[in-house]
Amino acid sequence: MKIFNNRLWKLWIVLVVGFVLNGCVEEKPFTGSEGVPLPENYGILEVEFKLPVYQVIQNGIRRVDLAVCNSMDEMYRDIFFYHSNVSDVKQIYQIYLPEGRFYYQAIITCTCGGDSCIQAGFPYGYGGLKFAFDKVDIIKGEITRSQPSFQ
Amino acid sequence: MNRSIKSGLIYISCLLLIQVSQSCEENIQVLAPPEFIPVVYCLLDPQDSVQTVRVSRVFQDRNQLSVWEQKYDLYLEDSLNKIYLEQIGDQGEHKTWNFSYEKQIRLSNDSVFALTYLFTTVYRPIFSSNYSLYVYFPDTKTMVSSKIQTLSKVQLIDPAFVPGRKIVIDPTQPYVIRWTGATGTSCYQGIFYINFLEEESGQITGKTISMPMTIVLQYSDLPVLDQNVSGIHLLQSLKDHIPVKEGVRRKITTLDFSFYYGGTEIALFANSGMNPKGLEGTVVDFSNLDNARGIFSSISSIQVNGLTLSNQSIDTVAMHPLTKTLNFLSSHEDF
């Protein structure tokens, strides 16, 4: 028994192909580096926290902090709503933030012996801190990249 | 189906049933015949000046075969002063160190713990060196032996004491413990120690709680290994380890961190309990000793003291629903 005539058969094929193609264009959720889907209005701040190279000291520059706040005023008053766990072996840090303008601060220190740290411009020498900051605009579903530069 | 096929099938199935039921009649010996099996544990620590060997024996049931038990205990006593460590140098030269009796430990007279002796020697082993351990039982002429290469030195990357750097406990980000891989090392465990002050009825006392992280068994040759510890896990650990007390206020001061790493033999031993059961239904335990059960391996540790928590983390511990009942003060409060 023939169920489909020629015209119905073509229509059926078109419907099936259309259904399959529609299934293939599923929108992938926006995810961070751990693959966790982010809330709808969130974007990613990706900071390439490079350690500066000083001629007088090859090693001994260490990352101390990477923190985010809402305004320059908050930064001035040392009020940060987010601090990253920084490491000497990790250079790229991703921070998930809602859409909008933010400010971040990156801090490094010097742990060399002698007066090498003073020669490299670290105030007080060993354990002295250098700061860098930047302003970033987070766009939902996008990665905003930034790189702090130290003097 | 005709009748002849039906009767054939019934005949075959009856034969199969008889065969199967016969195969089930194998006699199982519930209690194995007595046998002296020593148990030896020795973990060399290149950062300790005293090394210890623990000698015991396989134990079945103290209420049975008491004559055999006593005899085996005598065998153990006979091993006194017959334990030694041998180092084999690159040029084949041999050096030995004798272990001497330290003490007897026996937790209880039950079926779990047998008579156990500890032996020690004053010696600091060398990283990445070849060692043999010998334990001799003269009565049974049993020589227990094993040979290993001690582990090489691991470097802890995170946590590290860096002036100004603070540890962040945050439910939205993990803390990552990082260390360098090393030859012959496959077993790792970190322990956070949280130091805090506790005020009760005007009295302030310093307290410490330890939060051991999960043991990592890693056989890969990666230059840097890591373990992610989620912020929620750290908060949950705090909640699990500190009792809730009415009228008590607490303030976090510093954090210490111990990192233990052990040889591949320990990793294999730790993993063996998880292996599929052997053919006879028994758990297959790893042992690298000849003529005994137990383990001969090496272990070492790294200690980092005086780490600090960020103000944000102190506030998180004070305010988070998981830890709020522990009454920790926020970063701007004091007793």
- Give residue-wise pLDDT tens across range B179-236: 998 888 999 999 999 999 999 988 999 999 999 999 998 877 788 999 999 999 999 9
- Does any domain span residue B178? yes
- Does any domain span residue B77? yes
Tokens 């419907």 appear where?
A15
Is A96 within 8 Å of chain B by CB?
Answer: yes
**Interchain proximity B163–A87, CB inside 8 Å:** no
Of the residues B150, B165, B198, the one at which a domain ends = B150
**Interchain proximity B160–A96, CB inside 8 Å:** no
Is B233 within 8 Å of chain A by CB?
Answer: no
Q: Where are the domains of chain A?
A: 42-146
CATH number of the CATH domain containing B198: 2.60.40
pLDDT digits (tens, 9 = 90+) for A81-95: 999 999 999 999 999
Torsion of CA B156, B159, B163, B164, to 10 degrees: 160
Is the four-CA dihedral B225, B229, B301, A113 of positive or negative sign? positive
Of the residues B130, B150, B170, the one at which a domain ends = B150
For residues B218 and B166, state if they share a domain. yes
How many domains does chain B divide into?
2
B16-30, B133-147, B157-171, B178-192: the lowest-pLDDT one = B16-30
For residues B163 and B201, state if they share a domain. yes
Q: Show the beta-strand stretches assigned E in B72-163.
A: 83-88, 94-98, 100-105, 116-122, 130-137, 142-149, 156-158
- Does any domain span residue B95? yes
Q: Which domain holds residue B213?
A: 156-262+301-326
CA distance B113 to A6: 83
Q: How far is A13 from chain B (nearest CA, A)?
A: 46
Q: State residue B108's pLDDT score.
A: 47
Is A42 within 8 Å of chain B by CB?
Answer: no
Number of continuous H segments (helices) and E segments (strands) in chain A: 3, 7
Mutate to test the interface with B, among A45, A81, A83 (most CBs of B within 10 A): A83
Q: Which residues contact B278 (CB under 8 A, 6 or more apart)?
A: B284
- Does any domain span residue B286? no
**Interchain proximity A85–B157, CB inside 8 Å:** no
Tokens describing residue B293: 């059960």
For residues B137 and B167, state if they share a domain. no
CA distance B65 to B79: 22
pLDDT digits (tens, 9 = 90+) for A6-51: 777 777 777 776 666 555 555 566 666 666 677 889 999 999 999 9
B130-137 and B83-88 strand pairing: antiparallel
Judging contacts by C-beta atoms under 8 Å, the chain B residues touching residue A91 are none
For residues B66 and B95, state if they share a domain. yes
Q: How many CA atoms lie within 13 A of A123 on its CB side?
A: 5
